[in-house]
A and B are shown apart, each in its own frame.
Chain A
Amino acid sequence: MPDISFEGITYDCAADETVLDSLTRHGVLLPSGCRSGSCHACKVKAIKGKPPVASQAGLREPLKEQNYFLACMCKPDEALEIALADASDKYSATVIEKSWLNDTVVRIRLTRPEGFNYRAGQFINLLRTSDQLARSYSLASIEGDDFLEVHIKRVPEGRMSNWLCDELQQDQEISFFGPSGSCFYVQGKAEQPLLLAGTGTGLAPLYGIARDAIRAGHTGPIQLFHASHGAEGLYYSSELEQLAAAHAQLTCTACVLQGDIPEGALSGAVDAAVVNRLGDLAGYRVFLCGDAPVVELMQRSFFFAGASMQDIYADAFSFTPAG
């Protein structure tokens, strides 16, 4: 009978018994609901061992790849060490570089702590140790980079962003938790068209996802749109240009809502501009990152333009009000 380890204790799992039933029998109560694989309340993660395919039915691809499974559907055929879905480790890193990308966005590069593995597009929670203030920032770097990169947007009165922008110094240590998030590229369907659209610092994860897809050998067209309220909010234009020049499958387009329109950029609302440019989105895999209201608008518009809900991955940023 396979063993199940959870929080340092090992439990036996009887033949034909699910992980959920086994733990319940031992007095360990996981969150659970329908017990039939629909509600996903008992979603947990295998840290060691491979969960059976049947226990991952109905989960989205990025979750499967991270060995998430449904405890109520899992009759393990090998020993598993499991953890609750939101468990993440704490790491410490050193600031290697800080540079301004435009008037309000600063790029911070950190050393990559040993043992920290992530997928491009995931986010980390930076921690200010003095008062335990934590905020989420998406990674713009990819697994192959020897540093971690985040883009910080200065939020007026924002406690964390102003500290990161003004106080945090090069060579200083900073702690973080992570990685988290499921908005990332999963290998397979290399010819599928990809649509990456984001506002502001939503470009950070999209830049990572685009490079990750290219590195994984994605051959289908990759359409990246960077939207901003005005042209002054755009950044990384030359990086995107260079990346597109080096990889024929990638096209990068800026989109501004109002004011001066840079050469080659689209104008107006990004959701309408993208649909206007690409037409039918049936068959696309879609990644959306940035301000929550715009991400939600794009999600809806792209779904109506033909993208399947199963193929839309969104990471909506919320900006914590000052206080």
Chain B
Amino acid sequence: MTTLFEKIGGQASVNAAIDPFYRRVLGDPYVSRFFEGVDMVKQAEKQRTFLTMAFGGPHNYSGLDMRKGHKHLVHEMGLNGTHFDHILAHLRSTLAGLGVGEALIAEVVAVAESTRADVLDL
């Protein structure tokens, strides 16, 4: 059986997606404030972890980690579902820009979508 991570091209695809994805997120004034004031290199590493997870790759972050990591953004900075939707849209556009097919994009977005409740502390 071929996994999602294999179908999408593995670590090389994560590497190819990081810069364009992070540029889209930082360039979107609706969500960029959640990324400001944090070391950009560290931030880019977090994007790598997020993309690896969404691409179905090896990771070791539990829903609880996800919840803890975003809690202050939700309760102190007002992170909500609309912001989450923006991130998913940027993920979608990034993959489309890299020539990933619609069916695979849908699979990746579904994995990312599955973290919604944890990220938003619902």
Contacts and interface: CB of A to CB of B under 8 A. Distances in A.
B49 interface: yes
Contact of B40 (A36, A37, A38, A299): A299
Interface residues of A, number: 19
Contacts of B15: 310
B47 to A, nearest CB: 9
> Is the contact region of chain B dominated by helix, strand, or loop, or is it mixed?
helix
Interface stretch (A90-98, A226-234, A301-309): A301-309
A39 B53 CA distance: 13
A303 to B, nearest CB: 7
B26 A300 contact: yes
A9 interface: no
B59 A36 contact: yes
Given A296-B40, A300-B26, A304-B27, A309 B19 contact: yes
Contacts of A40: 45
A300 B40 contact: yes
A314 interface: yes
B23 A304 contact: yes
A286 to B, nearest CB: 12
Nearest to A35: B60
A212 to B, nearest CB: 21
B17 to A, nearest CB: 12
A312 B60 contact: no
Interface in A23-53: 33-40
Contacts of A300: 26, 40
Given A40-B45, A300-B40, A309 B22 contact: yes
B16 to A, nearest CB: 10
B18 A39 contact: no
Interface in A217-239: none
Contact of A39 (B19, B22, B40, B49): B49
Contact of B41 (A34, A58, A304, A314): A314
Contact of A303 (B40, B48, B58): B40
Given A38-B48, A304-B27, A309 B41 contact: yes
A37 B41 CA distance: 17
Contacts of A38: 48-49, 52, 58-61
A34 B62 CA distance: 10
Nearest to A316: B39
Q: Which of A33, A296, A299, A309 has the most CB of B within 10 A?
A: A309
Nearest to A34: B60
A34 B69 CA distance: 14
B44 A309 contact: yes
B5 to A, nearest CB: 13
- With most chain A CB atoms within 10 A of its CB, the pick from B18, B41, B44, B59 is B41
B69 to A, nearest CB: 11
30 contacts: A34-B60, A36-B58, A36-B59, A36-B60, A37-B58, A38-B48, A38-B49, A38-B52, A38-B60, A38-B61, A39-B49, A39-B60, A58-B48, A296-B40, A299-B40, A300-B26, A300-B40, A303-B19, A303-B23, A303-B40, A304-B23, A304-B27, A308-B19, A309-B18, A309-B19, A309-B22, A309-B40, A310-B15, A310-B44, A312-B40
Given A296-B40, A312-B41, A314-B41, 16 more contacts: A33-B60, A34-B59, A34-B61, A36-B58, A38-B49, A38-B52, A38-B58, A38-B60, A39-B49, A40-B45, A304-B26, A304-B27, A309-B18, A309-B22, A309-B40, A314-B40
Interface of A: 33-40, 58, 296, 299-300, 303-304, 308-310, 312, 314
